[in-house]
Structure 1
């Protein structure tokens, strides 16, 4: 059931769009009645984290005129798997299986999330960004629902499953005409940049594709960026949404 629960001093409030726990950070810290009159961006957090993380980034987007829907990823946050540690371990095979299952869960629930947000007055176009696991989800979001018009994956990958024909990295020819800007660390061993780099190269080779593509690889940066590199990366995200996203 959808509900709005507690207002906080930063004007954020809880919401359950499509039954998914989330926290809303209205643009310019306006109150909840005006939150959905601004361009809306869904934000997905990293693995094992929750929507309570990345508050600095939520507020940055809000200050720049975007209402942020801070999502709890499937199996995380307020809907964390009761067997989280067992499900995600101990073997690498177990981890990958659980990780991919939660990615596909995000894909499947997105249309209902957007339906609910539109009933609140948001949309009709939406942006998506996310970090690490949230970056993976961002790649798939544009394939999950045509209302997604701009995406900014951070430290993510379109390669969900190597041999699965539905994995985003194998659907370049079906990828919609969205504005997509991916940023990765050149020395990232957790999520190597190769798949994202190749994805953008293949997108840009499509003669009839009318979307916008940009890829930036930060040389020498791993999965956890230096402060200076992160500031540059995040400023890129803000500019991308400012250039490509309106309500």
Structure 2
């Protein structure tokens, strides 16, 4: 099966529709599928629900889809770096389902492994637990969290072979693999695509069985929060 496509628009052809749920990898501005996000913006698809740790910043990453009002719901952990995200949420324009970071990552992983739900102590006694099933195990209360199965997963890897076996670098490894796993279809953008056998099998973070389409592209290396100290005078 051909997995490598020429560009993001071709890779997403036939996969987008209004009202869909998309799982997006990345953490802040690290390891985000920026080329696929831009292609989604250009497609004009609307009323999207997105499961992602956060929405990046106002003019980059998922912030580009908030800017055009294509996202109607976010399932995420963090709002802080995106002013438009906060504005839409506080004004009631955007639905937000808050998840603790570990819970969100596990919901994605569980969905990808065929696990419909799991119990966790995280969030017990908070607004996170409202409306969810409570159960006691060994004298401790746990809440039921449902696995996430998305219509589409969009992720970014450092290297992958043409069959989709992928390696992620550093922080990009935390949400990209579970996001990829939970999509009924997964499209991955990569900095470098190599031939099968070029990657050390023991170094693979995501097996190619989870990846359906691949693109290679150039990526912008943005720094979300730049902190500098003054140069000391000689």
Q: What is the TM-score with the length of structure 1 in the denominator? A: 0.31
Identify, as 1 or 2, the structure richer in strand.
Answer: 2
Q: Which has the higher contact order (CA 8 A, sep 6+)?
A: 2
Q: What is the TM-score with the length of structure 2 in the denominator? A: 0.33
